[in-house]
Structure 1
Amino acid sequence: MSINEIASKINKLTVGTRPFGSLQEIRNRRGHSTRSWKPFASSSKYREYAFHDGGRKELQFNIAHDFLHSIDVFRYGVAFSFSEDRIVKNSKETFQAAVERFNIYYSSDRAYFKGFHLWYYSNKELANYFEDVKEIDDTLFQPGNFVFIGKYFEKDVEEISDDDIEEIIKTFDYLIPLYEYVQFGTSNIEKRIARLCWNDNGWIMPSGSYGKSTNGKTHEAKSSYGYEEWVFDISKLINGYHYGFLQPVHNQRDAYESRTFNAWLYSINGATKKRYWIGEIKNLEVLSEQDAEIIKKEYIRRGWLEEMKDQIIASGVSVDGLFGGKGIDQFNVRYLPANLKLRDNYIEIPLEHPINEQTRYNFTHYKDDFDVKVPDQTNDFAFTLSHNVADSNEDTTLERRIQVREPKLIEIQYLHDAISKALTKKLKEKYGNENVRAEHPAGYGSNRIDIVVKDNDDLIFYEIKSYISLRTSIREAIGQLMEYSLWTSHKKAKKLIVITQPSDDFENAKVYFKHLRDNFNLPLYYQSFDLEKNILSEIF
């Protein structure tokens, strides 16, 4: 493909369906003239690069053929072009405020730029490349410089595939909040604290009355469920967004309508009184009443609302009056799945933590004091022996322990089944109908392999996992694949492939699977499957 063809394909795949496709609408609402509702116009496409229409004086979305370490690369991301011409006569004056806002955004949320790189040109010559993004200092912010923040493929333009284009679109979707803040001076994204009602099912579906608040004034105490119990069910997407509900937002929704926040999430087990830090949602957008009504109608049309009612019944709770009233009473926020950052294991919050002083369901401003110490995640493993714990052989007394239900991640079964169905169809197109079977018997007991492919004289086993956490999905899948193929002294498959939905931890997964093969000679591989776009990634 050429630059023009890639830009045109991005237009076609995003306008009306993806956040990036709304770029010109965003610009138009801010008073910027638009010649087209497509992000890339013919006037901003060139042989070697393209940028969004109107982007010459803005933080521009940019795609280009380039070179890095003497290798052909295709880069995609955002950029500042500080060159001066008839459009930009004084680059310092034109970009001063935008550069300052970029630096504020960067310093307030460096994790946002994980996986992105920065390089810049001075007078059309590559001046420097940084593996990690940094502030745009006086060296970078000079007339004639071009500063790029983004990612790249080690490919020439002609080698870019449909899968690559999908990755570009996902990245552009992710960068929209940065663009809006940098370009238009939207108030800095505030970080707030939101309490979720208790849920044993990973906030994928209702879990019943256990652990719910006993305060008779709350909805969850009266009904034994809360509308937040689906807030992480990212199997339900509309134009790339998941829509959900947060009670703290609902309590003062007029103050938050149409604003964007970073939400720090915690929950209290009403039975044990333990508090847990669950994770965060970045760039959480608060809906208007009109938008919420549209979403509720769409949920009804797709049968999702009926499914949610069935889940309430299955949890042992009455559905009387469920989902009555306005849409805003059930849907008040939305976010991109890539911005959902959950802990693999929820972190228990100590009793002395200031969260204990917060009143119920306030959308409180986040303070540094709320930070929870995360257990060391480094790989500097060393065997240690505690001198405070007696050797287990010295004490054979068994204590009677009270069993409590701790929070856990659960698999999104609907998403699992939908991926299985779509992936089976795709594999049949490649290998032939007779060579692909879903839910194949494992050969012992009632165990079944998600998908088995016959590739000439060899077999390939696929195991699908749809936990929100990529690491949890991988952990659960590997054990099953190993057992299916090797129990008890067999080697049934030439390849064992773990399938998950796309994740921003994708690069770490690639490294991990290569590490497993290199060190243990195991035929383990990884692929992601984007259900919404029906795209299977390369195998890693």
Structure 2
Amino acid sequence: MSQPDLQDVIASLLTNAASPLTTTEIAAAIAKKRIWHRPSDNQFPTPSQISARVNNYGHLFERIDGRIVLKTSANEVDRLFRLTWNTTGWQFPIKHKWRKANQGNSNIAFENQYGFGGEEWLFNPRYIIDGYQYGFIRGVSDLATDVILVPKAWLFSLNQETKERFLVGQINDLEVIKAKPDIMRIAEKLYRHHFEDVKVELHDVDADENGLDNYGLLPNVRFRLTGEELFEVMLPAPALDGHQYNRFLPYIVDDELQLLIDGVLPEDDFVFNPGVARNSGGHQRVTSPSVRVIQRIHSDISTALEQYLRPQFARSNKNISIEKTRFGDNIADVVLIHHAKEITILEIKTSGLARKNIREALGQLLDYGCWYSGLKIKKLIIVAPSFLSVRETAYFQRVKNVLDIPIGYWQYLPNAVKGQPEFEEII
């Protein structure tokens, strides 16, 4: 039987504990609950092993007065969830091999006990209300009771026939609704309203509908649909092979797992990532005063741009991306999405010399705009505090005509009179 990683077990215990724990207390709790053992000798972990694992995962844990605490709250941890295998885009159930003799055996996947899994309706449009998709994810049931949001939920699935694993999508801001009575009432009403439809669909794939009664498969999550949750094709994920990622658990996406996921994601598919990066604003630790000044100017321009582009482009509309959308290995300063694959890219420069800003930004903008096939570029815009002289304006127009591309130049006006725009769209 496979088991979760030790760091996941430690994190779960700390999340549910009323106070920080010592390594001895953590080891005792694991032994008492019999929730993890060493694969090498089947023994429970010792306090020294707990201490070593805590040291190896410094981004998750810290020590305060000799006790272990979570460095980040549970609501700030991305997760990886396994979904029941499905080939309909998780809208309707498919046929699975199952046997009645398997029922009740926790070591066997639910789909092989009853012929279906709770996630098979996760993206069924009949469970959409007020822009929210309601659904069930088995791994969410094992989250700590105070977890109400998963910032990013990566989704993978296992083909039972070939045993291949695939990364199939990601959900941003996945809401855990089991502790929200008002939302749960909506979810239950939706579930009951379509209950007979579900039974018919299970009958069509020769599944055992008794699984609905024996296990609570009411929706336990909801999320705002953006249309980009599921990848266009399932991405083979051999990095997830083996027993480590075999169960329907809420795996913590630590640095190591994120590297595995990043290695699966293709570089030749454009993915618009809305929102503002956490480290946007130049908060990286630097020692050079000149670099700090550049970062501060860059941050000021970025913040002002977000204000200037409202209300047409806003975080709530999920059509603006500030330092979050990649073009290959590079991240653009600002990306606006107009339609499915029509975008505007803005590159921020901070020099007081317009020609220098144009020379540096233009290469980056062309790189971003041409990196992926199938993208329609509405405009490429250079944003900088430098004014364009008559000569520089003529130069910019010649560049624009020679390249025959939609490029523009916006000047940042930090001392604009109150009520006046902070940007002048010169070209």
TM (norm. structure 2) is: 0.41
Higher relative contact order (CA 8 A, sep 6+): 2
